Structure 1
Amino acid sequence: MMKQLAVAAAALLASAAIAAADPVLGTWQTEVDDGAFAHVKMQPCGQKICGTIARTFRDGGEYQSDTIGKMLVRNMEPVGEGHYEGKVWRPSNDKIYIGKIDLEGNSLNLRGCVAGGLICAKQTWKRVQ
């Protein structure tokens, strides 16, 4: 039992170290969608990456949306060379789409797709921190 616990702890630490070094981690600003934009905090969720809405803004400045704390980017898995695949949620229509991310420096190109990835809507997010 103790040996199994030690192996599990070592595996958890190794996956946390890998995820902690991932360049997509941090806070990103979305594009304006339906008159508002958000800051999304990208962080490890197990061995994958998830993004939670941390702050919301519109023309009048920051406001308290009911989407704060909700997961926008879900279970993104690194597939190599700054590319990720998983799911994304669009709050304005409450739908979940096939998600793809391409990281390019301080820009994150995010796509939400339907029809097996044939039809996609795109946003480019900018790194906040």
Structure 2
Amino acid sequence: MIRTLLFTTALAFAATAAAQAAEPIVGNWKTASGATAEIAPCGGAFCVTLKTGKHAGKRIGNLAGSGGSYSGEITDPESDKTYSGSGSVDGNALKMKGCVLKILCKSQTWTRL
């Protein structure tokens, strides 16, 4: 019985991990400034946290979506201002876009590490 429970728990964990790992946005990315950002599942979305550089440890985004297309909020770590944002994954490139009032936008492309 204990073996069955352990096996079932292990299968459930493996299935969850595989589903999360399969999402294109999950992983480490080199930002336009050269810092490393980690994008990982958190809650029902994906959190963007800087791992290296001047602002290491700072959470700079929260995006929801799937299949390579995401939207949410992005924070500029220099100004600490938060914008509506989006991201789209194409292979090893992640195009990030932040906008004010959906008319003034800035984009940058990150590269998968």
Same fold (TM over 0.5): yes
Counterparts of 1:96 and 1:15 in 2: how far apart (Å)? 31
Counterparts of 1:46 and 1:81 in 2: how far apart (Å)? 18
Structure 1, unaligned runs of 5 or more: 1-12, 57-64
Residues 101-127 of structure 1 show CA distances to partners (whole Å, capped at 9, x for unaligned) of: 011000000001111x22210000000
1:26 is matched with 27
Counterparts of 1:19 and 1:126 in 2: how far apart (Å)? 19
Q: CA deviation at 1:41?
A: 0.6
With structure 2 as the length reference, what TM-score do the two structures score?
0.79
Counterparts of 1:68 and 1:53 in 2: how far apart (Å)? 5
Residues 1-45 of structure 1 show CA distances to partners (whole Å, capped at 9, x for unaligned) of: xxxxxxxxxxxx67765333211111001112xxxx310011001
Residue 81 of structure 2, aligned match among 95, 111, 114: 95
Counterparts of 2:58 and 2:41 in 1: how far apart (Å)? 15
Residue 98 of structure 2, aligned match among 104, 112, 118: 112
Aligned CA distance change for structure 1 residues 96 and 45 (closer, same or farther; 3 Å)? same
Aligned CA distance change for structure 1 residues 17 and 122 (closer, same or farther; 3 Å)? same
Alignment coverage as a number of residue pairs:
102
The answer to whether residue 56 in structure 2 is matched with residue 68 in structure 1 is yes
Counterparts of 2:38 and 2:29 in 1: how far apart (Å)? 6
Counterparts of 1:73 and 1:54 in 2: how far apart (Å)? 13
| Conserved? CA contact 1:19–1:48, under 8 Å | no
Counterparts of 1:99 and 1:77 in 2: how far apart (Å)? 10
Structure 2, unaligned runs of 5 or more: 1-12
* Percent of residue pairs bearing the same amino acid type: 36
What code does the residue aligned with 1:30 have?
T
